[in-house]
């Protein structure tokens, strides 16, 4: 059991999200950065989709009312009873221990995973928070969370090698995008603009969508409006003002603005971690290449899971200033 002592910013329970209810208008939701969240879970021996805490920018302070194994994912200072401990590593906390998490130095979302996961009654098949529809609510100081059982799992002392930790410090990133389905609503010049300009994340961005600013994307004579049609997270809609909006995890299930493209699902977590003021560029990608990126990311996460479970070994390869990590073994 853990008790939240201080909650300075948006703090929610998330897992991999809801599926099967979009036709009722229920968004997918789930962790914004699946890469970090899944690694946080693997660090404590959980399956990747176990419910965990997601914080926006500023981490909470919490007290363990029973012993538990935890791990924090993010570029952030972590203190256990006032003594610094590492993020991207798992630790054993005793009853009464206080965990204090600072402000992210880079990125937007951080994660705290507990062995056994956060215990919750799934609503529509998921513990992900979507407060608008009464599916959970943001957490506040004083809330108490129960943890699930972790008998055989919950290994402390797992650590993710630095080379494998995601780096969200870049002020400009490029993500792949599969063009369409509404390309006929844009001029050739409009599409060229979208694929060549850098677009800035505006402060009007949240778990629902990231509004971007930059040179306006020109619509064709068909205009910005479409007959309302489905959206998925990563869809880039372009409203009449020509400034793109990237739909995120809590996005509505359907929308009425022309869709110029959809961000490659393997790249969406990097966009999710991009701070307001930072820039993104879109690079055209075929649907096959985008899927290959997705399969590559899944493979990497699986290798990390096996490594953290002690089934693969890490070998550091130095190449001049840079070092790489290779995970290898018989599985």
Partner 1 sequence: MGETMNLKPLGDSALLISFGEVIDEETNDRVHALAGAIEKAGFEWLVEVVPSYSSLAVIYDAKLIDFEGVRQAIERIEFSAEKFEGRLVEIPVLYGGKYGPDLEFVAEYNGLTPEEVIEIHSRPIYRVYFLGFLPGFAYLGRMDERIATPRLEKPRLKVPAGSVGIAGKQTGWYAIESPGGWRIIGRTPLRLFNPSKEQSTLVQPGDRVKFVPIGEDEFEELYKAEWGHEND
Of 228 and 241, nearer to partner 1 (C-beta) is 228
The bridge status of strand 235-238 relative to strand 279-284 is unpaired
Contact between 245 and partner 1 per CB under 8 A: no
Provide DSSP, 242-275.
---EEE-TT--SEEEEEEEEEE-TTTHHHHHTPP
User: Residue for token digits 């008790």?
Assistant: 3
Contact between 291 and partner 1 per CB under 8 A: yes
Provide, rounded to whole angstroms, the least separation between the CB of residue 138 and partner 1. 16
Q: Kind and range of the H or E element at 298?
A: helix 287-308
* Alpha carbon distance 128, 140 (integer Å): 16
Provide, rounded to whole angstroms, the least separation between the CB of residue 210 and partner 1. 16
Q: Give the Cβ contact number of residue 329 at 10 Å.
A: 13
Provide, rounded to whole angstroms, the least separation between the CB of residue 250 and partner 1. 11
- Beta-carbon contacts of residue 49 (< 8 Å; ≥ 6 apart): 15, 16, 38, 41
Of 110 and 136, nearer to partner 1 (C-beta) is 136
Contact between 187 and partner 1 per CB under 8 A: no
Convert residues 144-173 into a mask of x (bound to partner 1 by CB under 8 A) and - (unbound): ------------------------------
The single residue among 98, 124, 164, 195 that binds partner 1, judged by CB under 8 A, is 124
* Alpha carbon distance 272, 267 (integer Å): 9
Contact between 180 and partner 1 per CB under 8 A: yes
Contact between 135 and partner 1 per CB under 8 A: yes
Of 123 and 325, nearer to partner 1 (C-beta) is 123
Angle at 32 between CA 26 and CA 33, to 5 degrees: 145
Rounded to the nearest 10°, the torsion over CA 243, 246, 252, 258 is 50
Of 90 and 235, nearer to partner 1 (C-beta) is 235
Provide, rounded to whole angstroms, the least separation between the CB of residue 175 and partner 1. 12
Query: Are 39 and 304 contacting, i.e. CB atoms less than 8 angstroms apart?
Result: yes
Contact between 288 and partner 1 per CB under 8 A: yes
Contact between 47 and partner 1 per CB under 8 A: no
Query: Are 117 and 50 contacting, i.e. CB atoms less than 8 angstroms apart?
Result: yes
Query: Are 248 and 27 contacting, i.e. CB atoms less than 8 angstroms apart?
Result: no
* Alpha carbon distance 44, 189 (integer Å): 49
Provide, rounded to whole angstroms, the least separation between the CB of residue 289 and partner 1. 9
Of 66 and 287, nearer to partner 1 (C-beta) is 287
The single residue among 73, 101, 139, 263 that binds partner 1, judged by CB under 8 A, is 263
Contact between 304 and partner 1 per CB under 8 A: no
* Alpha carbon distance 210, 236 (integer Å): 9
The single residue among 52, 101, 264, 271 that binds partner 1, judged by CB under 8 A, is 264
Which of the ranges 49-57, 158-166, 238-246, 291-299 carries the binding residues for partner 1, by CB under 8 A?
291-299
| Residue ranges that bind partner 1, judged by CB under 8 A | 19-27, 123-124, 132-135, 178, 180-181, 226-230, 232, 234-235, 252-254, 259, 262-266, 287-288, 290-291, 293-295, 298
């Amino acid at each position: 059991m853990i008790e939240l002592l201080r909650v300075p910013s948006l703090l929610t329970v998330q897992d991999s999200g809801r599926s099967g209810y979009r036709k009722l208008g229920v968004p997918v939701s789930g962790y914004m950065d699946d890469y970090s969240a899944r690694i946080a879970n693997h660090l404590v021996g959980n399956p990747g989709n176990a419910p965990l805490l997601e914080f926006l920018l500023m981490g909470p302070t919490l007290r363990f009312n029973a012993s538990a194994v935890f791990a924090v994912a993010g570029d952030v200072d972590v203190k256990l009873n006032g003594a610094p401990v590492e993020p991207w590593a798992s630790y054993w906390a005793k009853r009464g221990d206080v965990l204090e998490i600072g402000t992210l130095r880079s990125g937007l979302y951080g994660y705290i995973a507990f062995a056994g996961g956060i215990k919750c009654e799934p609503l529509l098949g998921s513990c992900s928070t979507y407060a608008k529809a009464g599916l959970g609510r943001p957490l506040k100081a004083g809330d108490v969370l129960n943890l699930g059982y972790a008998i055989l799992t919950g290994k402390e002392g797992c650590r993710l090698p630095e080379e494998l930790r995601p780096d969200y410090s870049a002020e400009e990133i490029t993500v792949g995008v599969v063009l369409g389905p509404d390309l006929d609503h844009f001029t050739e010049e409009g599409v060229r603009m979208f694929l060549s300009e850098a677009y800035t994340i505006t402060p009007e961005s949240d778990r629902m969508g990231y509004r971007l600013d930059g040179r306006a994307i020109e619509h064709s004579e068909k205009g910005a409006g479409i007959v309302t049609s489905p959206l998925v997270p990563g869809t880039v809609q372009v409203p009449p003002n020509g400034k793109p909006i990237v739909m995120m995890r809590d996005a509505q299930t359907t929308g009425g603005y022309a869709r110029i493209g959809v961000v490659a699902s393997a790249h969406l977590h990097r966009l999710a971690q991009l701070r307001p003021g930072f820039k993104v560029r879109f690079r055209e990608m075929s649907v096959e290449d985008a899927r290959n990126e997705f399969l590559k990311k899944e493979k990497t996460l699986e290798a990390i899971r096996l490594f953290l479970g002690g089934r693969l070994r890490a070998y550091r390869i130095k190449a001049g200033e840079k070092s790489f990590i290779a995970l290898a073994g018989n599985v």
